[in-house]
Structure 1
Amino acid sequence: MRHIYRCPLRWSDMDAYGHVNNAVFVRYLEEARIDFLFRPEKDFQQGSVVARHEIDYKRQLVHRHHPVDIELWITQIKAASFTITYEVKDDDLVYVRASTVVVPFDFEAQRPRRLTSEEREFLGEYTDDAADADAKRGAVAA
């Protein structure tokens, strides 16, 4: 399953060339990540920090008045970290592909912590198992 965040574009997101500045995409990913992780029914209120970002810019996103979609899903769950993968896109047109390694963090103790069983279960719902199964079926058929 994937989470979809409808990200509004702002005039201040543009650079001198009239398209969304590459640095702004990091903020877009943050907005999508917060929308995903900090929901009343399932959240990471104990805290988390970003350990790593990787961003591949595929094409320019020109400013417009309607939002861009950010699809995100979980590609790896470890004992004390997980990886979120994103596509910033309109239908089949992808502007950015990115990933973020997130580390659960205990702010009182000021140290990383392990994922709780509830957090692991929640994240597991958003792993892209369907895509993995399709890829395996394709490899077997070939």
Structure 2
Amino acid sequence: MRHIYRCPLRWADMDAYGHVNNVVFLRYLEEARIDFLFRPEKDFKQGSVVARHEIDYKRQLVHRHHPVDIELWVTEIRAASFTLTYEVKDGDVVYVRASTVIVPFDFETQRPRRITADEREFLREYTDAEEEAVAA
């Protein structure tokens, strides 16, 4: 299953050519990630931090007044980290493919922590079965 976030575009997001600035895409990914991880029914209450981003720009996104879709899913779950993969897109048109490695973090002790059983169960719901088979 994939999580879909409808990301609004803002005037300040565009560069001098009217395209969404490449740096802004990192904020879009953050918005999608927060929308995914911090929902009332399931969330990472104990906290998490980003360990790594990888982003592949496919085509320019021209600023407009309607949102762009960000599809997000889990591609890897380890003992103390997991990887989210994203596509920023309109239908079949992909503007960006990206991934983020997330580390669960205990802010009280200021240390990384292991993924809890509840968190692992939640993440597995969003694991793409095809990609999981390739990773194995």
Q: Does 1:39 align with 2:35?
A: no
Give TM-score scaled by structure 2 length.
0.96
- 5+ residue gaps, structure 2: none
Aligned to 1:77: 77
Aligned to 1:91: 91
How do 1:1-142 and structure 2 match up within 5 A? Answer: 1-129=1-129, 131-132=130-131
Q: Distance in 1 between matches of 2:118 and 2:132?
A: 25
Give, as a single letter, the amino acid of the residue that structure 1 aligns with 2:95: Y
Residues 104 and 10 of structure 1: is their aligned pair in 2 closer, same or farther, counting only changes over 3 Å? same
Give, as a single letter, the amino acid of the residue that structure 1 aligns with 2:71: E
Q: CA deviation at 1:57?
A: 0.1
Q: Distance in 2 between matches of 1:30 and 1:133?
A: 23
Q: CA RMSD in A?
A: 1.3
Q: Distance in 1 between matches of 2:59 and 2:46?
A: 36
1:36-73 C-alpha deviation (Å, 9 max, x unpaired): 00000000010000000000000000000000000000
Q: Distance in 1 between matches of 2:133 and 2:79?
A: 27
Q: CA deviation at 1:133?
A: 8.2
Q: Distance in 2 between matches of 1:43 and 1:91?
A: 28
Percent identity for Structure 1 against Structure 2: 84
Bigger Rg over Cα: 1
Moved segments of 4+, more than 6 Å: none
Residues 133 and 117 of structure 1: is their aligned pair in 2 closer, same or farther, counting only changes over 3 Å? closer
Residues 35 and 133 of structure 1: is their aligned pair in 2 closer, same or farther, counting only changes over 3 Å? closer
- 5+ residue gaps, structure 1: 136-142
User: SS state of the match for residue 5, structure 1?
Assistant: strand
User: SS state of the match for residue 101, structure 1?
Assistant: strand
Aligned to 1:139: none
